[in-house]
Amino acid sequence: MVEPESWESLGRDAFALHPVGTGPFKAESFEAARITLSAHTESWRPPQLDRLEILAVPDATARVQGLMSGSVDVALALGPDDRETIEQTDGTFLGWRSEMVRTISFVLTEGPSPLDDVRVRQALNLAIDRKGIIDGLLGGLTVPASQGATPAAEGYNPYLEPFRYDPDRARTLLADAGYENGLSFTAEAVIGANGSDSAMYQQVARALSEVGVELIITPVTIAHLFDHFERGGWHGKAFGMVYTMEPIIDVIRTLRNNSCDRPAPWYCDVEATSMIQDALTEQDTVKRIALKQNLMARYRDNAAAIFLWPELRFAGLAPGVSGYDDVHGFISYDTLNVTP
């Protein structure tokens, strides 16, 4: 909620530069890679700290090094391989499963491509040994995804099974679609957002190559990806992203993001979009959940993306840091504390 008198007197643009809030910290300065905040002692949730700096450090290795050198107290978006390094310096390594599903989503609205054929999209899903990648790369801490939703979300369909690992069936589907000699496509992806994404894309590309599919990964920035979200103009026929249920923990959020309702949709199923509207307006709880579960089955069977696994989050804490808590992607800054 915004403070009504300030909103009315300042207007939207000025209020955005001089906001009035109720949080535990208030911003003192915004720089390109740093936000400096001071304690808001009159907050509804007063903080434990006098000051807070949020730094943008794009490289995961640099974030770990900052933690080890003492220049940062909390490092986010790490990978499972960072555990040993952090714990050797008496830090704390945290890992948990988020309410997001890691995917490689298809761009099906910007010109023809082999991915327009549902058999090709299903083949790509069947070609990947998700459990093997999870066990070898992610410490076995998550599970293969059966759909673009996590079990906690309203509308998750518990009757769907993950795509089984079946490279022979994948080759058959590709041949049936006219690609017995293979195919190639490009996916844009943010590399370095967490500590394992580069290796993950390499593993997926290797699995696809075994059925004759060349996946070319083009690294991009998050800003570049967001620009495509709003305006289109993709440089490939796929991109790495997550189907997210956060913060409302409802499949309708991710369904609307991946539908004709987007300003520049990459996946547009007209019938599914109509079903989404029905789910949004249905007041009966049982009927509403059934509509959402049917939608999850439709997206899964149509292979709207390569559904991989529920996304993991990893963080490192320096010695003396306590009270770190992440609730559906939101950090509880009021409980965070540092003992020298």
Pick the CATH number of 98-312 from 3.40.50.1980, 3.30.390.30, 3.40.640.10, 3.10.105.10: 3.10.105.10
Q: What is the arithmetic mean of pLDDT over 56-70?
A: 90
The residues, ordered by sequence, that sit 6+ positions from 140 with a Cβ below 8 Å of its Cβ are 134
CATH fold for the domain made of 4-96+313-338: D-Maltodextrin-Binding Protein; domain 2 (3.40.190)
pLDDT band at 59 (very low <50, low <70, confident <90, very high): confident
**Where would I find the beta strands (DSSP E) of the chain?**
25-30, 34-39, 51-55, 74-76, 92-106, 183-190, 213-220, 238-244, 305-317, 321-322, 326-327, 330-331, 337-338
Give tens-digit pLDDT for 128-181: 999 999 999 888 989 999 999 999 999 999 999 999 999 999 999 999 999 999
Give tens-digit pLDDT for 221-265: 888 999 999 999 999 999 999 999 888 899 999 999 999 999 999
What are the φ/ψ torsions at residue 239 (nearest 5 degrees)? -160, 150
Which residue spans of the chain are classified as CATH 3.40.190.10?
4-96+313-338
Which residue spans of the chain are classified as CATH 3.10.105.10?
98-312
